[in-house]
Amino acid sequence: MDEELFKRMQEAAQRFRSGESDFEEIMTPNGPAHLVRDASDPRGFRLDFVDGGAGHTAPVQKYPDAPSRPPGYPAPLPFLASCAATVDTRDQSVTWRNPPDPVASLEHLCQESLDDGWALRQEEDGVRVLEKEGVERTLLLTAEDDRPLLVMRERPSA
């Protein structure tokens, strides 16, 4: 997903959370889409594509490991150099598999979030919970098949 579209979706979600809006229409590369307030969705809204646009949409974007942020990587999301990332816009998550120096990578992602205005609310072994403008960002260091896994998820604050 391109940075500008991701930003527009995040701004619309913020208006939903603040009560300013219940419906937004945005233009995507696949045509118009409607964002509709939906409290049952963890993001706080659902995305309805007009005229079958969803058939051409990839909610999951994979980015190869790179020394710097690759083109198209959403600017509001933290970036981990030299580690492949999977961005899931449906789940509002980013997954980094087998990061170099997992503990230092967790701290790097936390610091990048702090530098971007997020406030640290909770710090436990392998977990950092941050908050910004009604959104909670959780950074989790875990393992899958005995390999380290870093996951970032964003949800509306409770």
pTM, 2 dp:
0.65
Spell out the per-residue pLDDT of the chain, length 158, in tens.
566 777 777 787 778 777 788 888 877 766 777 777 766 655 666 666 666 544 444 567 888 999 998 877 777 889 999 999 998 877 788 999 999 899 999 999 999 999 999 999 999 999 999 999 889 999 999 998 889 999 999 988 87
Please give the class, per CATH, of domain 60-156: alpha beta
What's the rounded Cα separation, in Å, for the pair 110 and 130? 8
Determine phi and psi for 111, rounding to 5 degrees.
Answer: -65, -40
C-beta separation of 66 from 59 below 8 A: no
Q: Which two tokens stand for residue 128?
A: 């950092």
Q: In Å, what is the CA distance from 120 to each residue of 111, 113, 115, 156? A: 10, 9, 11, 15
- For 16, the enclosing helix (H) or strand (E) is helix 3-18
Structural domain boundaries in the chain: 3-56, 60-156
